[in-house]
Amino acid sequence: MYWIKEMQNAIGFIEDNLLEELSIEAIAGSANSSSANFQKIFSIVTGMTVGDYIRARRLSLAAQELAASDNKALDIAVKYGYETAAGFTKAFTRFHGVTPSDVMRQKSVMSFFAPLTINIDIQGGLTMRRKLIPNLPEIVYDGNNAAFFTTLLEATLQSMGEECDKAKLTALSGEGNRFCWTDGKWVFGNELAESINETPFETQHRVLSAIGWNAKYITVTRDKDGKYMNTDRLQIRQDFVNAIDSGFPVIAQVNMADNDMNVFFGYEDDGEKIIGYEYNKGFEPGESLPTDFSTPITWDDWESKIYGYIILQSKIATASEKNTALALFRTISDHARKTSEIRGKKVGFAAWESYLHHLEHDDFANIALLETDAPTIDGIAYSAQHRFFIYCDGLTQIYARKSALPYYRSLTEKFPDWKGALDIAIAALDACADYGGFLWGAGFSFDEAGFEKFKSAEGRKILADEGHKAMQKDMEAVEQFEKILESEGITTV
């Protein structure tokens, strides 16, 4: 849903019915929205509540009528929704700074709140200082951080009217064939995009270059006291404001949501506040599933929560489709067979081996079932529940393989010589990705019963055995990509 268009429809409905009794339900209905969601979005887009907007418009029109006609103040008050002259005078004076009698005598209006018109700039009102990129679609966040960058990038490109292939973005990012695991520890963060990057923004740069975008990549560094080392608050704000003014949403690494990335598409008060989506609102691990909708929200003191960002700058030439695919296959092979760690994390087949070993052989005998009952040592909660969630983060990486399959299928049509190898790889990856959903079919769940089953050696042995089968399928797919590389004269490790 392009909700800014819906907000403009709602404003039109209000303007057409200013002299009628207006209910939130009716206004929200004109925007194809629920009352609660509409009020949140209206506030984000306009910087004011629905009630305040209606009041400002009615008092502005009342002032015009007082100055231009000889109608009685009480008649005008009733016309614009006020039952008594005293109530009208109080509201009028608070808004305009003068009484209705002053306006009638002097025939001048002190303040006028114009109807709002929403495009990219929001104009009208008194002194609106707000900028929004209008066509950024709602972003679905399903709890899968492994592929969330491509979700944000897809929305960003759509907002600029650019066609994009989500499956291709997922494949080019490497998220369709990755695995990352921290050996010897059950810690969060393995599923994040940066966990497989040896240099900052490596994944993001690879994707944007492949689809023809030059971009500015900024890593924000701070000392132990939080003081900026390579930039400052004003520079960050100026970068975001300039990008949004140019129609480019900003994809950022953040510490202000249930994931490590966000996309910002508006600001107010010259960047004093930033506007983006809030994802997964209300999600409680072990109690509920991630929500599948997002809500626009403004943040104060937002610069302190940014630790990196990407600003699109200009289109660039791209490699041929064939060379792009071959470069991807090489990336997949290198990742799968990498033996050295990336910032203390194993990747590829080494990550698979470590993951499955820990799953089967870690000693759960002396750990608590729930996090609420578990001691925390070096930031690690020794509970089956905690480890269960980390295991699930691994499954999200594996399941993401399905998202890239349509792109590989498209390559079989474009490059018939690759079809045999690609068909085998596609079938193998599809089977491997099924392991990402094996948890639910095997009776594991987000509750105490599921945690109890995961804590048992027998339960985890079932998961590990199935995982070894999935790993073999992953290896089979990588071998087929390597066959294509060898057929094109490209050596692999």
* pLDDT for position 283: 47
Determine what percent of the chain is predicted with pLDDT higher than 70.
88
The rounded distance, in Å, linking the Cα atoms of 296 and 469 is 42
Q: Both 311 and 325 in a single domain?
A: no
Q: Both 91 and 156 in a single domain?
A: no
For residue 7, what are the CA distances in angstroms to 32, 44, 194, 441? 10, 10, 36, 43
Q: Both 348 and 411 in a single domain?
A: yes
Which residues are registered as beta bridge partners of 243?
Answer: none
Residues contacting 36, CB < 8 A, separation 6+: none
Residue 448 CA neighbour count, 13 Å, CB half:
5
The rounded distance, in Å, linking the Cα atoms of 25 and 33 is 9
Which residues are registered as beta bridge partners of 297?
Answer: 276
Per-residue pLDDT tens over the stretch 56-80: 889 988 888 888 888 888 899 899 9
In a domain, 280, yes or no: yes
Enclosing domain of residue 158: 145-173+213-316
CATH of the domain at 36: 1.10.10.60
Q: Both 63 and 88 in a single domain?
A: yes
Burial bucket for residue 33 (CB in 10 Å: 0-12, 13-18, 19+): buried
Please work out, in degrees rounded to the nearest 5, the angle formed at the alpha carbon of residue 131 by the alpha carbons of 127 and 132: 140
Q: Both 463 and 371 in a single domain?
A: yes
Determine what percent of the chain is predicted with pLDDT higher than 90.
40
* pLDDT for position 286: 46
Looking up tokens 């960058």 gives 149
* pLDDT for position 285: 46
Per DSSP (E only), the strands in 99-212 are 114-118, 122-125, 130-132, 180-181
Tokens of 476: 């089979």
Per-residue pLDDT tens over the stretch 160-212: 878 789 999 999 998 889 999 999 888 888 888 888 888 889 999 999 999 99
In a domain, 108, yes or no: yes
Q: Both 367 and 455 in a single domain?
A: yes
Query: Pick from 316, 335, 358: which residue ends a domain?
Result: 316
Q: How many domains does the chain have?
A: 3
Q: Both 381 and 413 in a single domain?
A: yes
Q: Both 326 and 309 in a single domain?
A: no
This prediction's pTM? 0.73
Please work out, in degrees rounded to the nearest 5, the angle formed at the alpha carbon of residue 480 by the alpha carbons of 475 and 484: 145
Per-residue pLDDT tens over the stretch 380-431: 667 888 889 888 889 989 999 999 999 999 999 999 999 999 999 999 999 9
Per-residue pLDDT tens over the stretch 336-363: 999 999 989 999 999 999 999 999 998 8
Q: Sort residue 270 into left (φ over 0), alpha (ψ -120 to 50) or beta.
A: left
Which residues are registered as beta bridge partners of 217?
Answer: 310
Q: Both 12 and 119 in a single domain?
A: yes
Tokens of 87: 């109530």
* pLDDT for position 145: 67
Q: Both 111 and 166 in a single domain?
A: no
CATH of the domain at 289: 3.90.70
User: Across residues 234-260, what is the average pLDDT?
Assistant: 86
In a domain, 207, yes or no: no
Query: Pick from 254, 283, 316: which residue ends a domain?
Result: 316
Which residues are registered as beta bridge partners of 122?
Answer: 118
> Residue 298: is its pLDDT beyond 80?
yes
Per-residue pLDDT tens over the stretch 99-145: 888 888 776 656 677 787 665 455 555 555 678 887 777 777 666 66
Quote the crossing angle between the two packed helices 348-361 and 321-336, to the nearest 10°.
40
In a domain, 353, yes or no: yes
Q: Both 284 and 368 in a single domain?
A: no
In the predicted model, what is the mean pLDDT of the chain? 85
User: Across residues 257-267, what is the average pLDDT?
Assistant: 80
* pLDDT for position 114: 77
In a domain, 490, yes or no: yes
Q: Both 260 and 382 in a single domain?
A: no
The rounded distance, in Å, linking the Cα atoms of 61 and 76 is 10
Which residues are registered as beta bridge partners of 309?
Answer: 218, 252
> Residue 281: is its pLDDT beyond 70?
no
The rounded distance, in Å, linking the Cα atoms of 407 and 25 is 44
